Amino acid sequence: MAGGQDGMTGGDGSDELERHFLDAAARLAPPQPPPPREPAAEGLAGPDLLALFDAQAASRHLDYAARRLQRRGAGFYTIGSAGHESNAAVAAACRPTDPALLHYRSGAFYLRRAAQVPGHDGVRDVLLGLAAAAAEPISGGRHKVFGHADLAVIPQTSTIASHLPRAVGVAFAIGRARKLGVASPWPADAIAVCGFGDASANHSTAAGAINTARLCAYQGLPLPLLLVCEDNGLGISVRTPAGWIAAAHGERSSPAYFTAEGSDTAAALRAARAAADWVRERRAPAFLHLRTVRFLGHAGSDAELSYRTPAEIAADFARDPLLGTARLLVAHGLLGPAEVVERYRAAGERVWAAEQEVAGAPRLRSAAQVMAPIAPRRPAAVAAAAARAPGPKARRAAFGGRLPEAEGPLTLAQGVNRTLADLFAARPELLLFGEDVAAKGGVYGVTRGLARAFGAARVFDSPLDEQSVLGLALGAGVSGLLPVPEIQYLAYLHNAADQLRGEAATLSFFSQGQYRNPMVLRIAGYGYQRGFGGHFHNDNAVAALRDIPGVVIASPSRSADAAAMLRTCVAAAAVDGTVSVFLEPIALYHTRDLHTEGDGGWTDPYRAPGEWAEAHVPIGRARGYDPHPEAAERPGITLVSFANGVPMSLRTARTLAASGVRAQVLDLRWLAPLPVDDLLRAAEATGRVLVVDETRRTGGVSEGVLAALADAGYTGRAARVCSADSFIPLGDAAYHVLLSERTVEEAARRLLDAAPAPAAHRAAR
């Protein structure tokens, strides 16, 4: 019941491909005289070569199954691996403990890897993924991916090379974890394997990742990374110029370049083994260029004849990698032509039987099921981890004998710095890296002294490439380390936002939490920076962050909150694998005063470790200020804000108090998830809410705050005051578009002059 003979392929070109393989395999000429039945074939024992063919044949039949399932309405993914089955040679050349981030046409690699680990059925894994079955072992039916924690295959969902920065990070982390004595899921002599296509190789993400790999190799840093470019000459319908991959990568000294024709199985095996051995022995990157073909179009919906001629398509049949392996089997006397056909058909029978079993498998049945892996929260465990402190000796060493709790009140920047030092002393797996963070200590001195205290293996400067910064963090996070990367300015994050959106945020979702991205991404941002302005150093755009499912956004405004919230974010990363973005307001880094010069109203004493549990700030909890509680009978208003807006709101509250108005202030502190319960309580307390939002009117935080109030059934008065929908210019011109205390006060008075708060709110006061 295999192949076109039994109606198992369709009218999408698969009939022709199937017939060509069967006819060509049947005509293979056995050698004369026959060689011994069990020779060493190109360095592989006969059983290994047979296993290679089995993986390739099953992968081909899985592509046919994907189309059959789709035609029946029982399958949902038809991007196949047909023509790329030479990647099974890469799996054969590597170890099943080598972490692999695969190309989406790596079906044969996955099946060969699964066969290397007893008890795993790669065919069933793939079919469950095609059917979006809840029992699929890596994503649970959320996406068709190649992945399995037991097989060291990290699931990838991108088709545009966004996994390459992470692959660089994994390779870097293998050696760094060993150097730091941190437990890692990868053996110390493992190599990272990363597959991608020729079209993806042109993407800026791939170019940046490969450049970072070259830079590491140039500096002599261990980076055991095997890059595998599966070059079929097409990106959907767009042709890659002939010879381009070889010209772009073959003439470089690094990564070391290896190449082979995929249809020549012996050559593919030799090249894959040579490249893998080179990486493993030298701990340096290599680039394996496999020249492949692509059968059956880009996917089931791709009308390949609209951009390729029938003659071109037919000519590719001669480069079928399954035929290449069949020739090798026959040439070495391992199988006769009829036995090749029989073995191929047997693979089809196995796929067909498994297909019937999974076609009706249950799928995810509720939003709760779908969303379960996005953002697990164990607040009690996080609170306990946030209170974890280094021992007294380690703290004295970290701070040079002068503990921060003895320093007196600290600014925001100082609070972050001292907290990072405490975290480093308590957690040997912590890494901090980014542009200028080491010797310079950051543009604003926030990381000053950390490299000296904890060494270059844990605090180091990165290349000037935000995608590589985040990719390194993504790789470190899945390798047993806890990364705290820094993006120098919020505006620079947008160069690399997909590393958060498409890689960090999705990994737990598409692996059901089997793989996690623990990370605390520190970013200096917002406006109001004096003397060093302009859009790229005063960016207030956070909309790109707020809609990423599961990502926590912390936005402290003062030192005490920054210290507690940073401990929380690191603890959540360690406990739940949380991805946090820690937004630090540049203009408040070194601010000391609140109302008058010298009042020290915006500094805080540093809490000693014995007070950390009491000072813990859970994710999604706001901070309230009630500057004049004695004025409970006065007209009231709640100013809801964050970051720079908090001291602005407190000063406005003081001005309003002078005219007989009791103004409370709520610092949201967390922009995702919003502290909805605290927000509603603060709103109900006065019946009037003014959202003081320094971000832009369109896409700003206030949109989410007002929506949260409406969703919660709040019936009081509400308004917002925001910065303009503008980029931030240089100099004083910035204050024409940024929120100001004057506009906050004016908006507050307009809200107070409106109709009185409903009776229910007056009674609540």
CA distance 91 to 698: 49
Half-sphere exposure at residue 147, Cβ-oriented, CA atoms within 13 angstroms = 26
Structure tokens at 621: 């909890």
CA distance 571 to 706: 30
447-468 burial: b if 16+ Cβ within 10 Å, else e? bbbbbebbeeebbbebeebbbb
The two most distant CA atoms of the chain are separated, in Å, by 107
Contact 234, 242 (CB under 8 A): no
Contact 748, 538 (CB under 8 A): no
CA distance 462 to 87: 32
Q: Which of 61, 537, 616, 761 is catalytic?
A: 537
Q: Which amino acid, residue 222?
A: P
Structure tokens at 156: 């990838």
Q: Which residues is 487 bridged to in the sheet?
A: 523
CA distance 113 to 107: 10
**Which helix H or strand E contains 431, and what residues bound it?**
strand 430-434
* Peptide linkage before 673 cis (omega within 30 of 0): yes
Please confirm, yes or no, whether 148 is among the known catalytic residues: no
Output the CA torsion 132→134→136→139 (10° steps): 80
Between helix 265-282 and helix 321-331 the angle, nearest 10°, is: 100
Contact 69, 174 (CB under 8 A): no
Name the 3-class secondary structure at 258.
Answer: strand
CA distance 295 to 27: 21
* Peptide linkage before 33 cis (omega within 30 of 0): yes
**Which helix H or strand E contains 680, and what residues bound it?**
helix 676-686
3-state secondary structure 291-334: ECCCCCCCCCCCCHHHCCCHHHHHHHHHHCHHHHHHHHHHHCCC
DSSP state string for 185-206: SS-TT--EEEEEETTGGGSHHH
Residue 703 φ/ψ region, left for φ over 0, alpha for ψ in the -120 to 50 degree band, beta for the rest:
alpha
| Catalytic residue IDs | 537
